[in-house]
Each structure stands twice: as structure tokens, then as C-alpha cells.
Amino acid sequence: MLDFKFDTQLLIAGTGLNEDDIRDYIAENFSGDCLLVFGDEDLIKLHFHTNEPWKILEYCAALGDIHDIVIENMERQAAGLQG
């Protein structure tokens, strides 16, 4: 059994984005693991394992335009099913 079920990945496009601020906010305010945030002030790539991906989407959408969103159910993948 996984502690965090959903692999959540997306891009945030905007202006004045700060990867350190985004990483710190997510780490302090959302439950999950495997957090990766990298990019520059115009484009950020985010990867996070969580049980509440909709909260991550809501937060990121407040920062800029989110796109290339992928949310995969890792429990289904582990069982050999489509994520």
C-alpha cells in the first residue's frame, strides 16, 4: 500500500515564478512526498506524490497558467492496470 496514491505532474507558466517559494509552500501546506520543483521565473515543472492532487492543481492555477497536467493512480499501475 502506498502512502501517497497520485503521481501529480504539471507545468506552470507565468511571470515572476520562484521555484524555492513554490517548493517551500507545497512542502509546508500539503501532504505528500517525492516533491520536485524546478524551472525559472517564466516556467516551472512540478512533480509531487499526494492523495489530494486537486489541491495542488488549485494552488498552482493561482500562480499562473497550468498545462501538461498528468495525474496517475500509482496503485492501479502497481496492479498492472492503466494509471
Each residue of 28-40: pLDDT tens digit? 999 999 999 999 9
Q: What is the CATH number of the domain that holds 68?
A: 3.30.70
For residue 83, being part of any structural domain is answered with no
Q: Is 50 a residue whose pLDDT tops 90?
A: yes
In this prediction, residue 80 has a pLDDT band, given cuts at 50, 70 and 90, of confident
Range of the domain at 45: 6-77
Name the percent of the chain lying above pLDDT 70: 99
Who's near 69: CB < 8 A, 6+ residues apart? Answer: 9, 10, 57
Pick the closest to residue 42 from 16, 9, 69 (CA basis). Answer: 16
Domain annotation covers residue 82: no
Question: How many domains does the chain contain in total?
Answer: 1
- Burial grade of 44 (CB within 10 A; 0-12, 13-18, 19 or more): buried
